[in-house]
Copies of this chain bind each other. A is one copy, B any other.
Amino acid sequence: MLTQGSSPGFDSTEFRKALGSFATGVTIITTRTADGTPLGMTVSSFNSVSLEPPLVLWSLANSSLSLPAFRAADYWIVHVLGIDQESLSGRFAKRGEDKFAGLEHDDGVGSAPLLRGCSARFQCRTAFQYEGGDHVIFVGEVLAFDREDHAPLVFHGGRYAHATRRDAPGIQPRSAHLEGSFGEDFLGYLLGRSHFQFFAQMQPLLAREALSDEAFHVLSTLTLKPQLPQTELATATAGIATDGGQAGIRALLASGHARHCEEIGDEPCYALTDTGKACALRLVAAAKNIERELLARLGPGEAPVLKSLLNRLIGAIDPAAAQLWERGAA
């Protein structure tokens, strides 16, 4: 039999880190005490055990205040969390007595609280309680379960993560004709292709508003701040317009979408007119429709991953690039 302290001591911080390299989902496990109090906590030590009979397991620290209640409980419910339930995970990871305050839930097996909006729920009857060092291992027989399609909330390396399915072999990047050429796996190709294709979807909108590409880029930039000095306009359109946005701003001034405002120092300064704002709002609404339809064709949970990776890439290319946007938001 194993007794505490029988193992050679090693650095417990390093041991936790090593354990954290195994990714897990995140669950909330609930029960109801004999006096009717609902209990629940966030648990990542869940896993499946058996199909026939259907069994699952998880473990709970001896030091947990909830241990006596779970030891005494006949029934408990495992809720597998989806990507949108990070705040719920945080709520049930803290000690405190108001975890269920204001939280809509139903009563499940043994009156245990049944939370909503989860990826899967397993309503269990305790089958075994096993010794597990400083934890107790609970094995439960699954009496009922249900499932909804959600991208999973993942925990890895001490942090929340997204999971994105890997490409099937059939859609691995293809190589091109010329050895070492700009194949489909080249980031520059992927960024250019996706940008130009996305922008092509927007061009009918620009045509309807009689805006050139340059004028549109400047108009978008002017939505960021109440007024924009010439140098900031040039910075914001660098790489997009070769002329510091001059052709675009001239077109917008001519069409009444933009106006001059008071110079800052010697520098010209621009702002949107009411006409320009109305035009921008129409374009934003239409463009967001395009975006929504497009992102809906990705897998569940993939759109926020794509956006956050593009954000990180932009920061990696040019850490200063996001500054205008930050100032614009201030």
Contact = CB atoms under 8 A, between A and B. Distances in A.
A39 interface: no
A134 interface: yes
Nearest to A12: B51
A48 B61 CA distance: 11
Contact of A163 (B120, B128, B154): B154
A112 B294 CA distance: 50
A181 B223 contact: yes
A74 interface: no
Contacts of A197: 239, 314, 317-318, 321
B22 A80 contact: yes
Contact of A225 (B52, B177, B238): B177
Interface string A135-178: 10101011111110010101011011111111100010111111
Interface string A177-193: 11011111111111111
* Dominant SS among interface residues on chain A: mixed
Given A133-B52, A154-B154, A184-B322, A80 B21 contact: yes
Interface stretch (A98-106, A198-206, A245-253, A258-266): A198-206
A80 B24 CA distance: 12
A240 B195 CA distance: 9
Contacts of A291: 186-188
Contacts of A234: none
Interface string A283-299: 01101101100110111
A162 B316 CA distance: 21
A88 to B, nearest CB: 14
- How many identical subunits does the complex contain? 2
B152 A156 contact: yes
Contacts of A226: 177
B223 A176 contact: yes
Contacts of A315: 171
9 contacts: A2-B55, A21-B152, A46-B47, A51-B133, A156-B163, A162-B164, A166-B308, A178-B224, A196-B239
Interface of A: 2-8, 10, 12, 14-19, 21-25, 27, 44-57, 59, 80, 86, 119-120, 122, 127-128, 130-135, 137, 139, 141-147, 150, 152, 154, 156-157, 159-167, 171, 173-178, 180-202, 220, 223-226, 238-240, 272, 277, 280-281, 284-285, 287-288, 290-291, 294-295, 297-299, 302-303, 305-318, 321-322, 325-326, 328-329
